[in-house]
Structure 1
Amino acid sequence: MTFTDEDAERIHHPHDDAIFITLLIANYTTRRVLVDNGSSADILYYPTFRQMRLRRNQLCLVNSPLVGFGGMKVQPVGTITLPVMVGSYPQQITEEVNFLVVDCSSSHNAIIGRPTLNSWKAVTSTYHLSVRFLTEYGVGQMQGDQLATRECYLAMLAMNKHV
């Protein structure tokens, strides 16, 4: 899997933007999903969980906290396994993803971390704001949404002002 200069033409450069994509999670179109190669877990934020009309009794309890940057600990509400579809037909895959559900403020809705990126055999390019992955029908791709990335960043800054 390779990325070319042509793949970067739709991106405003220079940038240091994160990769935000849209995924179909449990038949729910989920925007503002952060692709995070540095995350050892896949995260679903509780407000998104509620918007998906899932019920708290569907969660499995988990006792180990998440430890974030700077040592901050967050106790997950629980875990849930949901089908996630990535890509567009025919270069798409659907896999079950085990999400940790956390109830804390965030400007995005979910995080796809290394467990899922590895199961997809995904390759990410922050320069191209793109994720590529193998499918039965060739290489699939999810293009990051640069506008959503910048909106999330501004929303996070606004949230931090009120803390």
Structure 2
Amino acid sequence: MRVFVDSGSFVNVIFQEALDQMNLKDYQLEPVETALFGFAGHTVHLEGEIVLPLTIGYGDLRKFLMATFTVVNAPSSYNVISGRPTMNVFKVVASIYHQKIK
């Protein structure tokens, strides 16, 4: 799974193609009434929101939570964009210099 960590994103995004590949049976998307604006300022149509389990880390350093993702039906080289909501809950510190998160 390819995840882009974006400290400027105010939502967590999962792309429809990735969601389809997860083979979730009978999932229900919650409707969303807000718009999402892309980097170039264009409006992106949202399919809805879904709550999914999310695990970060390995072994004893692993942390688990349920995260809300906004579903977008658009092409992307990533499966997920992890935004500020996840970064805050996991207490992530991002290093641009090292291209790592802790």
The Cα shift of 1:100 comes to 0.1
User: Contact 1:37 / 1:114 at 8 angstroms: preserved in 2?
Assistant: yes
User: Hey, what does 2:91 align to over in structure 1?
Assistant: 121
Asked if the contact 1:64/1:75 (under 8 Å) is kept, the reply is no
- Using the TM superposition, give the Cα deviation of residue 123 of structure 1 relative to its aligned residue in structure 2, in angstroms: 0.1
By how many angstroms is 1:58 displaced?
1.5
Residues 43-84 of structure 1: per-residue CA shift (max 9 Å, x gap): 000000000012565211112110122221112111000110
1:1-45 CA deviation, whole Å, 9 max, x = no partner? Answer: xxxxxxxxxxxxxxxxxxxxxxxxxxxxxx210000011110000
TM-score (norm 2): 0.94
Unaligned residue ranges in structure 2 (runs of 5+): none
Count of residues paired in the alignment: 102
Q: Which has the higher helix share?
A: 1
So what's the TM-score if we normalise by structure 1? 0.60
1:100 aligns to 2:70 (yes or no): yes
Q: Which has the larger radius of gyration?
A: 1
Residue 83 in structure 1 maps to residue 53 in structure 2:
yes
% same residue: 38
Aligned to 1:44: 14
Deviation by residue 1:98-134 (Cα, 9 ceiling, x = unmatched) = 00000001011000000110111110112212111xx
Secondary structure at the residue paired with 1:70? coil
Q: Which has the higher contact order (CA 8 A, sep 6+)?
A: 2
Secondary structure of the corresponding residue to residue 2 of structure 2: strand
What is the CA RMSD across the aligned residues, in angstroms? 1.2
Q: Is the alpha carbon distance of 1:55 and 1:79 closer, same or farther for their aligned partners in structure 2, counting shifts above 3 Å?
A: farther
Task: Give the Cα–Cα distance (whole angstroms) in 2 for the partners of residues 36 and 86 of structure 1.
Answer: 15
4+ runs of 1 displaced by more than 4 Å? none
Deviates more, 1:46-55 or 1:85-94: 46-55
